[in-house]
Structure 1
Amino acid sequence: MTGRMLGIDPMAYGSLGENWFLQGESGLERLQAVLGKRRTAWLVLMASYLELGAWEEVLKLGEKAPSDPMVYYDCAYAAAGLGKEEDAAAFLKKAGADPGDYCFPYTDMDKRVLEYAYSRGLDGGRSAYYLGCLYYGRDNREEGMRYWEEAVSREDGLYQAHRCLALALLEVCRDKTGARREMEKAFALKRASSAGENSSPSPDGRYLLELMEIRKQCGVPVRNLLELLEEYPDLVYKREDLYHQQLVLYNEAGMPEKAAEFLKKRIFNPYEGGEGILVKAHILAYIQLGRRALREGKNKDAIAFLEKALEYPENYHEGRGVMAREAAVYYHMAKALEADGRGEEALAWYEKAAAYQTGRLDESDFYTACALRRLGKEREAAILYRQMLEGADALLEKEDRLPYFGGFVSNLPGEHDVRKANHMKAHPAKFYAYTKRRS
């Protein structure tokens, strides 16, 4: 029968497992050739035997499977099923000693096995941590947090659980102080764990990004956030989202010359969810440089900076998008040309800015309206301001839903909230509109 099944589907895990138990060594070679080192594939097969209560088969598979905490937990559960409590305890301790990287329990059988391990309490806080991930991933946030709290009470050095608690405290409880406390601890523990005999401690890039973002939400000054990132230049360089954040912080700190220099030092690879960040940082850096030059009476330098704002170097691997916020550049270019005594050219740039509308409720449309007013088109400017106000009110009215084609919520900690994303978009739009309507 097994041979017949493999004839129909030679990749069927269950048939391959049965074939090994019936055929011996040759069956094992065939099983290993198909499953290879894919841990999930081995775990799926082991779970099917756990469901059957075939404890001996689970233990045999566990001997051949790649190292993984869930392999040890499955073997512990099977050993307990056979009444071999000492063997089960040994497997649980082994699971607790495994670093657990890329371990993502998600099935009902995983839950059953982990609850057994949790009840024994022989693996430190690991089973509690994994159960927290499983529950939180199923949108049972409170239960997930309860298990993570238990995990750190059983094993305080478990940096993964401290990190998860930090994110949950921020996103579920809106507890910024608690989130920062847990993330600071997770960061320190992760950094210490990375130190080898011949290497200095270095944090994980994701932990650094999350710590920076949580500190930002706690009101830590921009300069202090920059100090944190500048402490780990190699890590920032390797991770593009960190590099983007440092660019954004340079602009926010009023250091556009550093942002402009930073933009030249890396070859970028735009990723889904990160599109537009780089181009926006580029435009803002050169606008700031242009405005500074204009204030200092260096009109030609200002024009040169603003020309650069409209050039996207090859190392960006990203060009002018359909929603590029260029009206601000056009408007400031017109101002610079006007200051330089080139009125006709300035008028052409004002007209270009007036014709450029994104409809994105951002500063680009604000400068479009400014250009319309400069051209004496007060009515058209007033209509655009009204549209910005109405668009912002529509977002706030349906604050719990993203608009159609409205993009995605940020992947940064604390910014997964659709309501928060809508408020962050709507209130600046209202500010832009009211500022000019009242001026």
Structure 2
Amino acid sequence: VSFLRNQVVTFPRNRWSVCAEIRWSISANSPAYNKENNPEKALAFFERAYSLNPDDARVLMELDQLYKKLNYPVKTRLEFLAQKQDTVIIRDDLYLENAALYNYSGLYAEALQLIDQRKFHPWEGGEGKASGQYIYALTELAKADIRAKRFTEAIDKLEQAQVYPHNLGEGKLPGAQENDLFYWLGCAYKGLGDEQHAAEYWHKATVGLSEPSAAIFYNDQQPDKIYYQGLAWRELGQPETADKIFTDLVNYGNGHKRDEVRIDYFAVSLPDLLIFDDDLNLRNAIHCEFVAGLGYLGRKAFAEAEIAFNSVFEKDAMHFGARTHLRDLLLLKEKMNLLNVVS
């Protein structure tokens, strides 16, 4: 096998030999990336495999995951999959990744439509994925409603995001962390002038663990949930509590970037498909940059937050948290500039 990997192999052109060549290319790819740490070689093998049978949904999914691993721009991947829709629809994981690309690109209504019209089935590494994209689309649409002062419509969407429809193929975990939904519900009710309901939802948004940690598994406490706790405390007139939360986020992010990360062998599923070996230390560094960015954003240290989020993008072009909160940061700066002009 090691000899064959260094040779140009020509197969007779019939159906079975094409299948053999595809599988040979894939089997050669795994050592190229996972063992030899040679992404260029891995990419060449995978693109060769895909060219032999563009209708193979598994190969397309794995090729796209390699593009993602190599930090290809989201726009490039979305345009690539847009040309392969007949194949994309074959697999849940590939279909959902396509919807996620729409979500990440700000096409929330289109992403939600894609999710709504499919019945998903559970798969290893897919826990929380379909529901996550469903919630993300509804939340971002609700935030747009709040900015446009369509507060009732925003409330409807945020309430909808708390109920998982059957087509997602998974139920809500007990104790699901919904601090962001409750925070934005408070903002929507405040927009309606309903201070009582606003305060009720902001109080709900403060509930949960407030100590940041390494979020390795899909059900771990996510740092943005802590960030929304801080925002809620600020709205409730407790800026000291909010500032402590934001400072803790900054300190954790800056203090743990170089941690050596290991995971237990017997553990719940990791949050991503693991076709290719993952660098847990790199993932931790990205996570810490994001955590620090959230803390800076909460403290309204916009320049530092922007630097942190952009640092995340250099390593992960499809980091939803950094993308979302950088967009929020820019909108907040724009709003503050307008207020300064008016005053």
Task: Note whether the superposition's TM-score is higher than 0.5.
Answer: yes
Contact 1:210–1:412 (8 Å) recurs in 2: no
1:237 to 89, 98, 102: 89
Contact 2:99–2:111 (8 Å) recurs in 1: yes
Contact 2:146–2:154 (8 Å) recurs in 1: yes
State the partner residue of 1:163: 26
Deviations 1:370-401 (A, max 9, x none): 11122222333334335445655676454341
Deviations 1:286-337 (A, max 9, x none): 0111112222232222222212111211222322224634111111111122
Please, what is the CA RMSD of the aligned residues?
A: 2.9
State the Cα distance separating 1:174 from its structure 2 match. Answer: 4.5
State the Cα distance separating 1:208 from its structure 2 match. Answer: 0.7
Deviations 1:22-48 (A, max 9, x none): xxxxxxxxxxxxxxxxxxxxxxxxxxx
- Cα distance, 1:332–1:227 mapped onto 2, change above 3 Å: same
1:270 to 92, 115, 122: 122
Within-5 A mapping of 1:349-368: 349-357=201-209, 360-368=221-229
Q: Distance in 1 between matches of 2:3 and 2:237?
A: 63
Q: Are residues 1:279 and 2:131 paired?
A: yes
Contact 2:126–2:273 (8 Å) recurs in 1: no
Q: Are residues 1:340 and 2:195 paired?
A: no
Deviations 1:88-110 (A, max 9, x none): xxxxxxxxxxxxxxxxxxxxxxx
- What's the secondary structure of 2:106's corresponding residue? coil
Q: Are residues 1:186 and 2:41 paired?
A: no
Q: Are residues 1:220 and 2:82 paired?
A: no
State the partner residue of 2:5: 149
Contact 1:361–1:425 (8 Å) recurs in 2: no
Question: With structure 2 as the length reference, what TM-score do the two structures score?
Answer: 0.72
Contact 1:177–1:218 (8 Å) recurs in 2: no
Within-5 A mapping of 1:15-26: none
| Number of matched pairs | 283
Structure 1 residue ranges without an equivalent (≥5)? 1-127, 129-145, 192-201
State the partner residue of 2:290: 428
- What's the secondary structure of 1:273's corresponding residue? coil
- Cα distance, 1:394–1:244 mapped onto 2, change above 3 Å: farther
State the partner residue of 2:279: 417
State the Cα distance separating 1:348 from its structure 2 match. Answer: 1.0
Contact 2:164–2:172 (8 Å) recurs in 1: yes
Letter in 1 for 2:151: N
- Cα distance, 1:323–1:242 mapped onto 2, change above 3 Å: farther
Letter in 1 for 2:78: L
State the partner residue of 1:314: 166
Q: Are residues 1:331 and 2:183 paired?
A: yes
- Cα distance, 1:257–1:147 mapped onto 2, change above 3 Å: farther
Contact 1:276–1:321 (8 Å) recurs in 2: no
- What's the secondary structure of 2:89's corresponding residue? helix
Q: Are residues 1:370 and 2:222 paired?
A: no
Q: Distance in 1 between matches of 2:172 and 2:25?
A: 41
State the Cα distance separating 1:406 from its structure 2 match. Answer: 7.3
Within-5 A mapping of 1:32-71: none
Contact 1:334–1:347 (8 Å) recurs in 2: yes
Question: With structure 1 as the length reference, what TM-score do the two structures score?
Answer: 0.57
Contact 1:286–1:306 (8 Å) recurs in 2: yes
Letter in 2 for 1:249: L
Larger Rg: 1
Q: Distance in 2 between matches of 1:407 and 1:232?
A: 29
State the Cα distance separating 1:276 from its structure 2 match. Answer: 1.0
Contact 1:361–1:429 (8 Å) recurs in 2: no
Q: Distance in 1 between matches of 2:3 and 2:191?
A: 64
State the Cα distance separating 1:164 from its structure 2 match. Answer: 3.7
Contact 1:415–1:421 (8 Å) recurs in 2: no
Q: Distance in 1 between matches of 2:135 and 2:200?
A: 20
Q: Are residues 1:379 and 2:240 paired?
A: yes
State the Cα distance separating 1:284 from its structure 2 match. Answer: 0.7
Q: Distance in 2 between matches of 1:223 and 1:268?
A: 25
Contact 2:145–2:151 (8 Å) recurs in 1: yes
State the Cα distance separating 1:232 from its structure 2 match. Answer: 3.4
Q: Distance in 2 between matches of 1:220 and 1:342?
A: 45
Q: Distance in 1 between matches of 2:131 and 2:3?
A: 42
State the partner residue of 1:78: none
Identity of aligned residues (%): 24
- Cα distance, 1:340–1:409 mapped onto 2, change above 3 Å: closer
Contact 2:182–2:201 (8 Å) recurs in 1: yes
- What's the secondary structure of 1:270's corresponding residue? coil
- Cα distance, 1:288–1:148 mapped onto 2, change above 3 Å: farther
Moved more, 179-188 or 384-393: 384-393
State the Cα distance separating 1:176 from its structure 2 match. Answer: 3.9
